[in-house]
Chain A
């Protein structure tokens, strides 16, 4: 299980960290879950279908573009081999079969090139392969250039059954079709023939379908195979034309502006108004006559040709529309590209060399939606402890157990009731909290996730806090002559109730998301453009709930809610619903305005942090306990914790009630 053999750009630190953790001898549970996946994969045989059907600028397959003495495709195949994906079929067009043979040479009999003459045949091949094997099926573009860790994050983790490699925001849509995600789940996807309303994420050309969803994959692939046989269903060509006309317009704009931006850049070309937004009638209906240079015309033709071959995106649309739970595995700050010309492949290789993969991995091991104290006072240094722990070969489970032990020591120190004891307890509590942050960062950095580990960490977090409450209460009666047990029980009750509110609210959110209506796959629209309610997904921030911070980052689900702003898109039928009573509309309207204000506050940096602090997350709680225990008495400590907790609870309850009323 050596580190990526083709990863020339990875720093030596990354290599040692990774191989170090991979070889842990006594990492019982953590390892076993990662290993068992690997073993099972071997036994059941994961199948990778490498779609090398996208044409490059020179008319050949993009997958055959040169890369450091070999080809882009071979580089990818070596990465797949390294990730223990043994069975690989490279799907390409018959005229390119010979061109790709050198890329698979010497990779063993399980790696084969398969010629297919059309998209429809590609899809049938996918269905066949899914039917033949028993393990997960991986679909990937042959000309994909990314870090091994980016692939591993999706393909080698027990956390994801079916998922895609994704990133927030946009990539040029012909390279990476847009998707919309809520709470980490893909809610809508686009393809050459399908549009996504309010996109906030993109599909980066890798789709993994787990055993659980194999039947759906087969069914979806077969359905799409027949749909993509000409003539295409109504509205499909129009949708592709809509995309093409948008490229023409943006290319014309670039050409018109002096020193125009390179539209090929990795950066999001138009984050404010993503091109993929289902713009309904106003976009496609008045084709502006745009005159492009010969070069740009060729560019548009190439993009359309590439997009037409994008079987991965079509399958994603099919799975999402079939209600399959597709998760996002985010690229983080790792490198990703789809070179489609020799020049671009050269640039990519150049760019790739300058990448400090370990740095990126370490930075992205830090949880994105942590609280203020954790983000600014703990994570900046705890990540280096995490790296040190990884190099020492410590497992996350060991680290979380150590954190629990330190928490108990902190409680014991508090229980002495003396001032030095309180100071020692405060320091130990902070050490325990830092260690707890190290746990999560170590798990993400080394990709060692296990269900038992996650359960243990959660239970330990709660136990630490409540043991400390008990320690403070004992210390209060021993050293201060105060009986604060009532306050201790009250604080524990309040905190448990606050957590239960988070869990229950999250559960109902998940349910609402799962119940969201999805149109059948033969319709180009995803139905979201029909529902212009205020319950939209946040455009930039990652979706999801931050425990205590419920109202901050929750993206409300959008059920098929009737709204006065509805308009009809021609090719989509949405189940009609009766108009709600007038009073309810007023309430919902007011609630939506309140949510809009709250969103506006999220956009400014300091108000967003203020809201996060207000909900009193674990970092703030532990900091307050430490500080108050040092400076004041246990009684005052409990009163502060109770008061802040009560305010936080009131705030989240109000915010969630407003959210519930907006529906």
Chain B
């Protein structure tokens, strides 16, 4: 299920780790590549990306066109920070903000679609959370991030927000989220399992950084 070329991507350092935590999809990467380096810290960009969404929700959440503009803005503003190292003082806050924006937006879509869609949103967010934890824990224990193709296949936070919005427009949030949850969970869990099967076989030399058990 993997091509050898894309199989392992050695991380070059903590900065690229933060980049891996972000989980950018093709859209965000495209924006980041097109814009080049923007002289605004990624933390500020990510905060800015969420402001219109919050404004629309506060004023009139049912205004779908406005919501669409806000989602587009979030992808563009958040995408500007993708694909480049960030040495800002608040760089550590960025992946968290990205997660809050992504999961929060998906929840809003589900609520707008009706209460029957929310359990499916739980399933979808659970599948995504598995992947986002998996990235961290595999970097920690295997020393390698999941392959690039996986991030592309998952669509990234940007792709998922856009697709979620399209589902909202077509009235298919519930079914769409359920299918997405099943497909993504199958994809993420199987890829991770395969990576562990491969990992223990060739017995790589230990490069454990002896990080503390940070997860409580």
Contact = CB atoms under 8 A, between A and B. Distances in A.
A325 B96 CA distance: 28
Nearest to B90: A660
B207 A508 contact: no
Nearest to A39: B203
Interface string A457-499: 0110111001001100100000000010110111011001111
B14 A511 contact: yes
B104 A493 contact: yes
Interface in B24-68: none
A11 interface: no
B21 A503 contact: yes
B103 A656 contact: no
Interface in B79-113: 89-96, 99-100, 103-104, 107, 110-111
Contacts of B130: 459, 462-463
Interface in B173-216: 196, 199-200, 203, 205-216
B9 interface: no
Interface string A587-617: 0000000000000000000000000000001
B122 A473 contact: yes
B215 A500 contact: no
Given A489-B118, A510-B14, A502 B214 contact: yes
Nearest to B209: A325
A493 B107 contact: yes
Contacts of A643: none
Contact of A511 (B15, B107, B118, B206): B15
B207 A161 contact: yes
B199 A452 contact: yes
Contacts of B90: 657, 660
A211 B216 CA distance: 32
A510 B139 CA distance: 14
User: What's the dominant secondary structure at chain A's contact region?
Assistant: helix
B107 A504 contact: no
A210 interface: yes
A353 interface: no
B99 A496 contact: yes
B53 to A, nearest CB: 14
Contact of A497 (B99, B137, B207): B99
A438 to B, nearest CB: 14
A240 B167 CA distance: 73
Contacts of B148: none
B18 A504 contact: yes
B209 A510 contact: yes
Nearest to A474: B119
B93 A501 contact: yes
Interface string A612-630: 0000011100000000000
A436 to B, nearest CB: 11
Contacts of B213: 367, 440, 454, 547
Interface residues of B, number: 55
Interface string A321-348: 0000101000000000000000000000
A590 to B, nearest CB: 15
Contacts of B76: none
Interface in A136-158: 158
A454 B103 contact: no
A267 to B, nearest CB: 27
Contacts of A496: 99, 103, 125, 129, 132-133
Interface string B126-161: 100110111011101110000000000000000000
A455 B122 CA distance: 23
A319 B209 CA distance: 16
Contacts of A367: 213
B17 interface: yes
B14 A488 contact: no
Contact of B200 (A32, A37, A505): A32
Interface string A42-79: 00000000000000000000000000000000000000
- Most B CB contacts (10 A, CB to CB) among A508, A619, A656 go to A508
Given A497-B99, A507-B92, A547-B214, A485 B118 contact: yes
A511 B13 contact: yes
A458 B137 contact: yes
A489 B118 CA distance: 8
Contacts of B126: 466, 470, 492
Interface string B1-22: 0000000000001110110010
Contacts of B129: 462, 466, 492, 496
Contacts of A503: 21, 95, 136, 214
Contact of A455 (B118, B121, B137, B216): B137
13 contacts: A159-B210, A161-B207, A212-B205, A212-B207, A458-B133, A459-B134, A490-B107, A496-B133, A497-B99, A497-B103, A500-B132, A504-B21, A547-B214
Q: Which 7 A-B pairs give the minimum distances between C-beta atoms?
A: A511-B14, A547-B216, A485-B118, A493-B103, A617-B216, A451-B141, A501-B96
Interface of A: 29, 32, 36-37, 40, 158-161, 163, 183-185, 210-212, 325, 327, 367, 369-371, 440, 451-452, 454-455, 458-459, 461-463, 466, 469-470, 473, 483, 485-486, 488-490, 492-493, 496-508, 510-511, 514, 544-549, 617-619, 653, 656-657, 660-661, 663
Given A466-B129, A504-B93, A653-B93, 16 more contacts: A159-B210, A161-B206, A183-B212, A451-B208, A452-B196, A469-B122, A485-B115, A485-B121, A493-B100, A497-B100, A500-B96, A504-B96, A507-B92, A510-B14, A545-B214, A548-B216
